[in-house]
Structure 1
Amino acid sequence: MKYKRITSIDDPNFKKLHDLMGQIFPPEEVLEYDLWKEPLEDPGIRVFVAVHGDKVVGATEYRYYPDWNIAMTDFTIISQHGLGLGRFLAQNRLKDLNQLAKENGKVLFGMFAEIYDPYRVEHHEFGGVKVMNPYVRREVLSHLGYKRLDIAYVHPSWENSGEAVSGLDLCFMPSDEDLEVLPASLVKEFLTTYYSVLSNKPQEWLDMIDTIAAGETIELLPL
């Protein structure tokens, strides 16, 4: 199995990846094909696929922010069981991020991720792929060290429709597992930067950002 980076929508593996995303994720979570051109060419956005034979069987997208020394996992896809894809993707992603932090003269502070809460929203089938079951994914991410931020979280729809998407938690995996809080300013700056590509923000999201900005710290709770 190979871990290959995609930097162009013209890469044949990107068509396979985008088809896979459409099979796995709900429509509001998938950016339109042509809108991927600039993100893929952005050196700060890292899209890698797991290639098994001639098939794309898994993928992960993430980014590293050198100014904050943090990362964000955008998504992870595991389309088949029995290939060790979860560990393969997680290990290669962490190795890459540790190298980026090292080049930045630092040790990685941690990584954000949005994680579905199936105890609140049960309708996501993820293409019927059992290993993508939200209950399974949530426990796996807890094992990896993710903790949920103590906020009522929504995010803007990636369809840029102005709708607020709920049913997820914003989580953080600190390199220091004893870390109990994050600066509210870091969370606000990260979210406003991360979603700057979307012009149509829902009022619920704007209100959430105002609430975050009004505080000093945000507690990290067990996932």
Structure 2
Amino acid sequence: MDYIRITNIEDPLFAKMHTLLGEVFPPEEVLEFDLWKEPLEDPSIRVFVAVHNDEVVGATEYRYYPQWNIAMTDFTIIGRPGLSIGRFLANNRQQDLNQLAKENGKVLFGGFAEIYDPYEREDFEFGGIKPMNPFVRREVLSHLGYQRLDFPYVHPSWKNDGEAVKGLDFCFIPTDDKVTEIPASLIVDFLKDYYSVLSNKPQEWLQMIEDLQAKQTVKLLPL
């Protein structure tokens, strides 16, 4: 299996990856094909695919923020069971992030990720791919070391229609296991930057940001 970075919308591997995205995630979570052009060309956004026998069987998108020394995993896709794709992607991603932090003269502080909460909502469709079941994915993140941030989370729909996407938790994985809380300002700064591309923010998201700005720290809770 090969770990290959995609940096161009014309790359044939991207079309295969985008098809896989549509098979796995609900429509509001998938950016339109043409809108991927700029993100793929952005050097700070790292999109890699797992290629097995010339087919895209998995993918992950993530980024490293040198100003905060943190990472964000945008998504991880396992398109086929029985190939250890999840471990393959996680290991390669972590090695890459550790190297980026090292080049920044630091040890990675940690990383954010969103995860569905199937205990709150159960109407998720994931194309029948069992490893992408939200219960499975939640346990995988927990095993990796992610913890739930202690605040009610929503995010703006990637359709940019002003709708709030609910039924998720915002999580953080600290490199140091002794970390039990992180600054609320870090979460606010990150979320404002991360969703700056979406001009149409829902009121629920704006209120969430305002509530976070009133806090000093946010606790890390079991996932």
Normalised TM-score (structure 1)? 0.99
Structure 1 residue 119: Cα displacement: 0.3
Provide the residue aligned with 1:40 in structure 2: 40
Structure 1 residue 214: Cα displacement: 0.8
The sequence identity of aligned pairs, in percent, is: 73
Provide the residue aligned with 2:62 in structure 1: 62
Provide the residue aligned with 2:112 in structure 1: 112
What one-letter code is carried by the residue in structure 1 that aligns with 2:30? V
**Does residue 53 of structure 1 match 2:53?**
yes
What one-letter code is carried by the residue in structure 2 that aligns with 1:85? I
* Residue pairs, 1:47-196, within 5 angstroms: 47-196=47-196
Structure 1 residue 158: Cα displacement: 0.3
Residues of 2 paired with 1:133 and 1:169: CA distance? 16
Q: Name the SS of the counterpart of 2:127 in structure 1.
A: helix
Structure 1 residue 178: Cα displacement: 1.6
Normalised TM-score (structure 2)? 0.99
Residues of 1 paired with 2:127 and 2:159: CA distance? 19
Q: What 5-or-longer segments of structure 2 have no aligned partner?
A: none
What one-letter code is carried by the residue in structure 1 that aligns with 2:77? I
Residues of 2 paired with 1:185 and 1:211: CA distance? 11
Residues of 2 paired with 1:161 and 1:192: CA distance? 17
Structure 1 residue 54: Cα displacement: 1.3
Q: Name the SS of the counterpart of 1:187 in structure 2.
A: helix
Residues of 2 paired with 1:57 and 1:69: CA distance? 30
Provide the residue aligned with 1:23 in structure 2: 23
Structure 1 residue 191: Cα displacement: 0.2
- Note the alpha carbon deviations across 1:84-109, whole angstroms, 9 max, x for none: 10100000000000000000000000
Structure 1 residue 125: Cα displacement: 2.2
- Note the alpha carbon deviations across 1:150-199, whole angstroms, 9 max, x for none: 00000000000100000000000000112111101000000000000000
Provide the residue aligned with 2:208 in structure 1: 208
What one-letter code is carried by the residue in structure 2 that aligns with 1:125? E
Q: Name the SS of the counterpart of 1:71 in structure 2.
A: strand
- Note the alpha carbon deviations across 1:100-139, whole angstroms, 9 max, x for none: 0000000000010000000011111210100101101101
- Note the alpha carbon deviations across 1:17-73, whole angstroms, 9 max, x for none: 000000000000000111100000000000000000110000000000000000000
Residues of 2 paired with 1:109 and 1:57: CA distance? 30
Alignment: residue pair count:
223
